[in-house]
Amino acid sequence: MQYIDLHSMTQANTTSAHALSSQNTSSSAALRHDWSLEEIQNLLQQPFNDLLFEAQTIHRQFHAQNEVQISSLLSIKTGACPEDCGYCSQSAKYNTALERERLLPLEEVIEKAKIAKSNGSSRFCMGAAWRNPTDKNLDKVIDMISAVREVGMQTCVTLGMLTDQQSQRLKDAGLDYYNHNLDTSPEFYGNVITTRTFQDRLDTLQYVRDKGINVCSGGILGMGEKATDRASMLQQLANMPQHPESVPINMLVQIEGTPLFGADGIDSIEFVRSIAAARILMPMSQVRLSAGRHEMSDEMQAMCFFAGANSIFYGDKLLTTENCETNDDLALFSRLGIKPSEVELGQTDLIKAEACHS
Ligand code: SF4
């Protein structure tokens, strides 16, 4: 078991740092990277109220209570992707009703970033449906990263697989986060994607981590996987030498024309349990309620926040699927007494200790 150095902890945003200084940290949970599958299964299976109580207790040790970070996500290049991710409307292999779009012009991205900022987002995520970016495409994305930083927002991109050198270029451009999801367990992975391996994903994450870019990585639940797969995916994330700073937990949005349309979904209580387990296993990470929120009731979202989710995507589109209306989000925040956390540009430099391609 490894123990954290509180001076070098991740998620050290101003609010959570305040929460730490104002709360008793002596009981802070140890950061572990050696979870066995059995331990995680036992965690997930404990009585619901015990699990949520533990998750909320840990949450309050590391994060400001009643605050949720807001990110916006823009698809900067849509569709015609050569990969075969079984859940994705953007794969060229599936016949979905998606309209393809070339890489967006810089001006449009800047305009969307300004709107997102005025709606309260602190981070602007840009996703491109590529297996991997070409160096020429990366030049254009780098221009977008610089422009969004000038708007005064944190930046995140999800571009598929990267090389070591491309990761360095993104770091040099000032990129804050790189998203690359594990998607599911290594055991279930072949049921979802065949055009790249689980190890390919780990390699990209390693390049990004080595360059000092914050990592955003999580997965998708409700793809027909078993409870053991959910535990195994969480084990992969929690046992990384450094936990991802951001852990998106998605609920599959079933899209007609994709192989996973009609897959056995996930029971909402099981979903909340997974959020709680992610919070306990990765105490300092931001656990993000991501795709699938549109299908969740207000009550289910409230349970997820209680279970330790402290980040959402905001706006009415999540790449190509429906997301909650901005006004609905604000109304729910108000009903729950939640406020958006204020994240200042540059504060991720504090993250030393410890990403959204889906
Ligand atoms: S999830 Fe990403 S890599 Fe997979 S098909 Fe969709 S756009 Fe391509």
pLDDT at residue 19, rounded to an integer: 40
Candidates 96, 146, 42; CA nearest to 321 is 96
Is domain 48-350 annotated with CATH 3.90.550.10?
no
Per-residue pLDDT band at 27 (split at 50, 70, 90): very low
Q: Positive or negative CA dihedral for 217, 322, 289, 227? A: negative
Question: How confident is the prediction for the chain on average, in pLDDT?
Answer: 84
Residues in the chain: 358
**Residue in the block written with tokens 């994607």:** 193
Q: What is the CA(86)–ligand 1 centre distance, in A?
A: 9
- Residue among 32, 88, 169, 230 flagged as catalytic: 88
**304 in catalytic set:** no
At residue 2, does pLDDT exceed 50? no
Q: What is the CA(188)–ligand 1 centre distance, in A?
A: 17
At residue 283, does pLDDT exceed 60? yes
Q: Positive or negative CA dihedral for 8, 68, 283, 40? A: negative
Whole-number percent of the chain with pLDDT over 70: 84
In our burial notation (b when 16+ CB lie closer than 10 A, e otherwise), range 24-60 reads eeeebbebbeebeeeebbebbeeeeeebbebbbebbe
pLDDT at residue 9, rounded to an integer: 31
Question: Regarding predicted confidence, which is higher, 355 or 255?
Answer: 255
Q: Averaged over 43-55, what is the pLDDT?
A: 97
- Residue among 85, 304, 324, 356 flagged as catalytic: 85
Q: Would you say the pTM of this structure is higher than 0.75?
A: yes
Which residues are within 8 A (CB) of 89 and not within 5 positions of it... i.e. 6 or more apart? 79, 96, 97, 98, 255, 257, 258, 320, 321
Name residue 73's beta-bridge partners: 125
Which residues are within 8 A (CB) of 117 and not within 5 positions of it... i.e. 6 or more apart? 124, 151, 152, 153
Q: Which of 77, 88, 200, 319 to mutate for ligand 1's pocket (most ligand atoms within 8 Å of CB)?
A: 88
Name residue 157's beta-bridge partners: 126, 178
**Residue in the block written with tokens 């697989």:** 161
pLDDT at residue 193, rounded to an integer: 94
Residue pLDDT, tens place only, 72-83: 888 898 888 898
Candidates 286, 292, 295, 301; CA nearest to 333 is 301
In our burial notation (b when 16+ CB lie closer than 10 A, e otherwise), range 247-267 reads bbbbbbbbbeebbbeebebbe
Assign 3-state DSSP to the chain and report helix, strand, coil percentages, each to 5. Answer: 40, 15, 45
Ligand 1 pocket check for 90: Cβ under 6 Å: yes
Q: How many CA atoms lie within 13 A of 206 on its CB side?
A: 8
Q: Name the helix (H) or strand (E) containing 220.
A: strand 219-221
